[in-house]
Amino acid sequence: MTTFIELLVNGVSIGSVYALIALGFVIIFKATEVVNFAHASLLLVGGYVIAVLHEDLGFWLALVAGVAVAAVVGALVEFCVLRRSRAGDQHVLAIVTIGVDILLTTELTRRIGTDVLAMGDPWQSQVVQIGGISIAQTRIAALVTAATLITCFLLAFRYTSWGIAMRAAAEDRETAALMGVRLSRVSMGAWAVAGALAAVAALFLTVFPTPGLDRSTSLVALKAFPAAILGGLDSTTGALVGGLIIGLAESLAAGYQNDVTFLGRGIGEVVPYLVMIVILLIRPAGLFGTRELARV
Amino acid sequence: MASGTLAVGGLSVSYGKAVQALREVSLEVPEGTVTAVLGANGAGKSTLLRAVSGTLPFHRGSIEAGEITLGGRRLSGLRPDAVVAAGVVQVPEGRRVFGRLTVEENLRAGALGARDRSGAAAARERVMELFPVLAERARQRAGLLSGGEQQMLAMGRALMARPKVLLLDEPTLGLAPLMAERIGETVAEINRQGTAVLLIEQNAALALRLASTAHVLEVGRVTLSGPADALAASDEVRRRYLGVGDDDALEPRFQRPPTLERWAG
Ligand SMILES: Nc1ncnc2c1ncn2[C@@H]1O[C@H](COP(=O)(O)OP(=O)(O)O)[C@@H](O)[C@H]1O
Ligand SMILES: [Mg+2]
């Protein structure tokens, strides 16, 4: 039973980190109708900046810098690449983001090399005991941070002018423009917010129990894609629920894989994709989505 | 030229270089007046408003020649948000309310483009006076409103930006006659409060009653222009747009199927 509760808490925690990534992915899609395949590389940018700067600046300043750099890189990708592209076709733009992803990831993995970079976080490998169950401090920090950020984001999305502009543009770009909404600002804002959220996610993907940031971190980030897709590409609620489902499924599958050895080792790695496939077979637009990927 | 006149001069518009939708269209909407544009489906009425609002790029359309100005200031070539900030706001054909947003949020969206946000409260008050039903339904999703209510919301949303000139694209399309009348009365009231209106209508009788000046658009050209009452009295307009025969006493609608067909399209 304690194992189960530990797996549950860890699953929710990692799920909330996936939700941060998926949320950024979804708001870019809502604001621009572009599927952003460069998301994992934005995450790597943020994580890399934190890892490189924490010794000189201290952890918290390095975190701020990582978040800021990832936001700026996101905004720059929108400004320099997507906006300049005369393609106008969302399929083509999605492919452009694959190009951006390859560029950024190649450069960063070249810099990282074979190193495993520490993040210099204050939690390290400390563990908290609560009534017989032990939870890593990093998992609690991840959960609290992600929950706070998600709450702030949802409140802003619901109540601020920025949120109204985003939602209006997501629903009907031309009419939003007729209301004086500047679509270019909306999409740049979405990319910046997505970058910032991804940088925070990068931190929590690379701290304990993970040894640190390395070249495979962006692969871990890819698990957030099934989270976004199974929740529904155009649904913020979907991103949150999708993140939690993937996190829980992964944690439970990894925890109990000894009981299901007939499925083979490493089942935790493939479970996110299995869950996504099953859900998409039943609901092609995702749990909360209104648009199928094929019709994007 | 009066200070707030919206002037369209020699405007030619094409879509994707192949479809010529407007040819040398010229017309004016003087400050504080209602100007009507009549025309069959596909005549280029919505294209005219897209050109003014700067939304042609959404349709791969572009201005080939001509100029649009407000009080002498050039509007053509500006982005949609700059046109709104200059005081020209459009209510698009088919209302296009944000169905997943609440009524209140739709109104807030309408205020996003206003140059200064200080007058938002007063604008909101004015909108609620014009359309009390919007206050009752403030928290409902706009998609759940009836067609007439959606039209009111679309107009209220546009008024939130406190326009000098309001562009209305077929506001009574698809509405029951009684609701169409109410929308017509509201247009007159909005104009009385000082906003100029460029009114595009299929309902020629209603439009000619509201407008002081009217233009007829046919296949991208202005073919008739003049005071609304003169146009309403002209044989050409009576026959083609008011469904009234010039020389027959019998029910004209049944005698002129070609006219009906054009409108049905
Ligand atoms: N997005 C578009 N692409 C190509 N042609 C268009 C487009 N929109 C309108 N047209 C053409 O331009 C002409 C005028 O259309 P429109 O302005 O919508 O007319 P109206 O509003 O008077 O019904 C029509 O021939 C129509 O087929
Ligand atoms: Mg039209």
DSSP secondary structure, B91-106, as one string: E-TT----TTSBHHHH
Give the residue with greater pLDDT, A253 vs B69.
B69
Residue B17 pLDDT more than 90?
A: no
**Whether B109 and A171 lie within 8 Å, measured CB to CB:** no
Q: In three state form, how does the secondary structure of chain A look?
A: CHHHHHHHHHHHHHHHHHHHHHHHHHHHHHHHCCCCCCHHHHHHHHHHHHHHHHHHHCHHHHHHHHHHHHHHHHHHHHHHHHCCCCCCCHHHHHHHHHHHHHHHHHHHHHHHCCCCECCCCCCCCCEEEECCEEEEHHHHHHHHHHHHHHHHHHHHHHHCHHHHHHHHHHHCHHHHHHCCCCHHHHHHHHHHHHHHHHHHHHHHHHCCCCCCECCCHHHHHCCHHHHHHHHCCCCHHHHHHHHHHHHHHHHHHHHCHHHHHHHCCCHHHHHHHHHHHHHHHHCCCCCCCCCCHHHC
Give the single-character DSSP code of B220.
T
Q: Where are the domains of chain A?
A: 2-218
A175 touches chain B (CB under 8 A): yes
Range list for CATH 3.40.50.300 in chain B: 6-87+163-262
* Chain A residues with CB-CB distance to B53 below 8 A: 178
Residue B220 pLDDT more than 90?
A: yes
Question: What is residue B41's three-state secondary structure?
Answer: coil
Positions of chain A with pLDDT under 50: 295-296
DSSP B104-143: HHHHHHHHTT-S-GGGHHHHHHHHHHH-HHHHHTTTSBGG
ipTM over 0.85: yes
Residue B2 pLDDT more than 70?
A: no
Query: pLDDT tens across A153-195, in order?
Result: 999 999 999 999 999 999 999 999 999 999 999 999 999 999 9
Cβ–ligand 1 distance for B92 under 6 Å, the answer: no
Cβ–ligand 1 distance for B173 under 6 Å, the answer: no
Nearest to A205 by CA among A284, A105, A119: A119
Geometric angle at alpha carbon B47, from B22 and B182, rounded to 5°: 130
**Whether A165 and B110 lie within 8 Å, measured CB to CB:** no
Cβ–ligand 1 distance for B44 under 6 Å, the answer: yes
A199 to each of A62, A65, A151, A224, how far by Cα in Å? Answer: 11, 10, 17, 14
CA end-to-end distance (rounded Å), chain A: 44
Where b means 16+ CB within 10 Å and e means fewer, A239-278 reads bbbbbbbbbbbbbbbbbebeeeeeeeeebbeebbeebbee
Overall average pLDDT of the B99-122 stretch: 89
Q: What is the pTM of this model?
A: 0.87
Top residue of B108, B150, B165 to mutate, by most chain A CBs within 10 Å, is B108
- pLDDT of amino acid B255: 38
Residues in contact with B252: Cβ distance below 8 Å, sequence separation at least 6, in sequence order? B243, B244, B245
- pLDDT of amino acid A87: 61
pLDDT band at B258, cuts 50/70/90? Answer: very low
Radius of gyration of chain A (CA): 19
Residue B1 pLDDT more than 70?
A: no
Cβ–ligand 1 distance for B14 under 6 Å, the answer: no
CATH class of segment(s) B6-87+163-262: alpha beta
A226/A276 Cα distance (integer angstroms): 6
- pLDDT of amino acid A291: 67
The first and second tokens of residue A134, run together, are: 């032990």
Overall average pLDDT of the B39-50 stretch: 95
For ligand 2, the distance from its centroid to the CA atom of residue A263, given in whole angstroms, is: 60
A86 touches chain B (CB under 8 A): no
A294 touches chain B (CB under 8 A): no
Question: What is residue B234's three-state secondary structure?
Answer: coil
The DSSP bridge partners found for residue B36 are B199, B214
For ligand 1, the distance from its centroid to the CA atom of residue B13, given in whole angstroms, is: 10
CA distance B161 to chain A (A): 8
